[in-house]
Chains A and B, each alone.
Chain A
Amino acid sequence: MDRPPPRLPVFLNLAAIRFPIGAIASIAHRVAGVLLFIALPIVALLLDASLRSEAGFAAVRDLLSSPFRVVTAALLSWALVHHVLAGVRHLLMDVGVGSELARARTSARLVLVAAPALALLLLVWGLT
């Protein structure tokens, strides 16, 4: 009878891998997507509560004036902007626009820089 094959180790320590810029844009796209996915029902519930009654509106307003508001809003603004930009980048690349390596690197860099910058603008505009 054959011996069962030994369990071989696999090297897959992501911290030891030097990721190209495209991979960083891609994983950030995923993270942003997960954040938006988690945030959407919460935001919808908050909106629902704020529209239900005056007391509900006041409760939501109080909740949103906590110090965590800025951090959460910043994170979600970044997630939204990054997800949209990276998503459009992928759509264009799917039809062959900018899918050549040098261009893909440039567009990945652009998305990674533009997302926090636009998120900041969105935040400033939203909080003032």
Chain B
Amino acid sequence: MKLSIYRYDPETGDPPRMQAYDVQPEAGDKKLLDLLMRLRVQDDSLSFRRSCREGVCGSDAMNINGRNGLACLTALDGLKEPIVLRPLPGFPVIRDLIVDMTQFFAHYHSIQPWLINDQPLPERERLQSPTERERLDGLYECILCACCSAFCPSYWWNPDKFIGPSGLLQAYRFIADSRDTATAERLDFLDDVYRLYRCRTIMNCTEVCPKGLSPSHAIERIRLALLRRSS
């Protein structure tokens, strides 16, 4: 199969270029990551992140034929050749397909992605009703691969100020949690022209989420929660 891959080596300082490859998949190679691993035998200078190889760790996010996705979840069948691989758009490139995610994680930390509860600790765990637990479905599954934020035009233009779809989905995960008592503070933090309201409901995030989640829906819920609070 033919591939065209974005190459950048910080040590030479040369501008990024596209390199053509031809690699034959072997029996059992089903996903793009399988092919990339085979390619690495050919060219061990090719750099990309991967770990779990089954869509749980979220490290092999990249731009595949113009759309963001996880190499390990992208089937080789049906991929148009040459398969064009580029790093996540809008993120600083460290090397080849590896991007610097510092800012992305800074936004994640800013929304305080942990349970805040100022009530005394119960003797056993804090219980939730099945309905309360169901509210977290579609939110807790996020693996922070950054496919969504790196496909969001609003995030491309304001990566320093807009939290981005991933961070906002995570923020709503805690707003929606019945055990969290900091909802008001969380909403106060998000009620900002840049942090939340840079979202223009383009829905690129939901289009590319490899876990099938809908950050745009989470953002809509945050906006409605803010509206309900102010009225």
A16-B86, A17-B66, A101-B207 known; A8 vs B202 contact (CB < 8 Å): no
Of B10, B87, B89, B224, most buried by chain A (CB within 10 Å of CB) is: B89
Residues of chain A within 8 A of B57, CB atoms compared: none
Residues of chain B within 8 A of A56, CB atoms compared: none
**A interface SS class:** loop
A127 contacts partner chain B, Cβ-Cβ < 8 Å = no
Cβ contact of B223, chosen from A8, A10, A94, cutoff 8 A: A94
Interface residues of B in 108-146 (CB under 8 A from A): none
Interface residues of A in 4-21 (CB under 8 A from B): 6, 8-12, 16-20
Q: Digit string of B60-96 for contact with A (CB within 8 Å is 1, else 0)? A: 0001011100000000000000001011111111100
Of B15, B67, B207, B223, most buried by chain A (CB within 10 Å of CB) is: B207
A22 contacts partner chain B, Cβ-Cβ < 8 Å = yes
Asked whether B214 lies within 8 Å of A101 as measured between CB atoms, the reply is: yes
Cα–Cα, bound, A74→B202 (Å):
26
Residues of chain B within 8 A of A101, CB atoms compared: 203, 206-207, 214
Cα–Cα, bound, A17→B206 (Å):
16
A interface residue count range (under 10 / 10 to 19 / 20 to 34 / 35 or more): 20 to 34
Asked whether A10 lies within 8 Å of B206 as measured between CB atoms, the reply is: no
Residues of chain A within 8 A of B8, CB atoms compared: 9
Of the A-B pairs whose beta carbons lie under 8 Å apart in the complex, a sample of 17, sorted by A's number, is A9-B8, A9-B16, A11-B88, A11-B91, A11-B93, A16-B84, A17-B151, A18-B65, A20-B203, A27-B153, A90-B201, A93-B220, A94-B223, A99-B201, A99-B217, A101-B207, A104-B203
Asked whether A9 lies within 8 Å of B66 as measured between CB atoms, the reply is: no
A96 contacts partner chain B, Cβ-Cβ < 8 Å = yes
Residues of chain A within 8 A of B202, CB atoms compared: 22-23, 26
Cα–Cα, bound, A101→B202 (Å):
10
B100 contacts partner chain A, Cβ-Cβ < 8 Å = yes
Residues of chain B within 8 A of A18, CB atoms compared: 65-67
Q: Digit string of A83-113 for contact with B (CB within 8 Å is 1, else 0)? A: 0000000100111100111001000000000
Asked whether A8 lies within 8 Å of B93 as measured between CB atoms, the reply is: yes
A26-B202, A93-B201, A101-B203 known; A11 vs B86 contact (CB < 8 Å): yes
Residues of chain B within 8 A of A23, CB atoms compared: 153, 202-204
Asked whether A94 lies within 8 Å of B207 as measured between CB atoms, the reply is: no
Cα–Cα, bound, A99→B88 (Å):
26
Of B67, B86, B201, B203, most buried by chain A (CB within 10 Å of CB) is: B203
Asked whether A96 lies within 8 Å of B220 as measured between CB atoms, the reply is: yes
Asked whether B201 lies within 8 Å of A11 as measured between CB atoms, the reply is: no
A22-B207, A90-B201 known; A17 vs B93 contact (CB < 8 Å): no
